[in-house]
Amino acid sequence: MNVADNTELPPGKAVVLVSGGLDSATVLAMARAQGYECYALSFDYGQRHRIELEASRRVALAGGAVEHRQLKLPIGELGGSALTDNTIDVPSTGTTGENEIPVTYVPARNTIFLSMALGLAEITGARDIFIGANAVDYSGYPDCRPAFIAAFEKLANLATREGVDGDGFCIRAPLIELSKAEIIRAGTQLGVDYSLTVSCYNPAADGKACGVCDSCRIRANGFRQAAVDDPTIYQSQA
């Protein structure tokens, strides 16, 4: 899905945000299937689930990215999130209210990630930026909503040379309105190897998923609903 109304051009280069998780692996496969030459971009931002950094390399390689960059960002030093601050516990399933933004929200993360992707897009000549944001089976993050994607695209085309003098940019969020089961079915049809991916917010030292955080719960439910075998090894099952 393209949130904003853009004139379509033939696929060329694209920057794809690749975290190493299920969603970003699917987005990379979708972009490649559409004929894009993909530049994968990942971030070491001080996340406690650093196992996803190795997963991002596996996903980028298996997904056919022509290049994979992993940049270090100090946003985790700000704290304020269970994903970056070891003094805040990662909540288990059911500990966050239905309308609450959970403590695993990282302040301004997708805004910062997309800003870096926008810079890389200008440098590489990419017009399209892909992100695996999802507003259906998501954990209440405000920067995973269609309104945010549309607003950032508008900003991208106001604040860059390519936006002012060139064809402009398109922020593509093809998973934004899909359930986790629909995402898994789509990725399976494209040949995504989900055993390469990591979703857990609080994995054990040996890499096993905790099985009780929101991300594990959403992932496990998605595989069950999609009727696809889940390759994840969980320490326990919520």
pLDDT (tens digit per residue) in 9-46: 668 999 999 999 999 999 999 999 999 999 999 999 99
Contacts of 147 (CB under 8 A, 6+ apart): none
Average pLDDT, the chain: 91
Segment 142-168 shows an average pLDDT of 95
pLDDT of residue 43: 97
Q: What is the pTM of this model?
A: 0.92
Give the Å distances, CA to CA, from 124 to 14, 37, 170. Answer: 9, 11, 15
Q: Residue 238 — very low, low, confident or very high, per pLDDT cuts 50/70/90?
A: low
One-character DSSP codes across 56-117: HHHHHHHTT-SEEEEEE-GGGGG--STTT-TTSPPPPTT-S-TTSPPTT--TTHHHHHHHHH
Digit-coded pLDDT (tens) for 70-128: 999 999 899 999 999 988 999 886 555 566 888 999 999 999 999 999 999 999 999 99
Instruction: Please report, for the chain, the start and end positions of each structural domain, with discontinuous segments joined by +.
Output: 13-226
pLDDT per residue as tens digits for the range 137-153: 666 789 999 999 999 99
Q: Which fold has domain 13-226?
A: Rossmann fold (3.40.50)
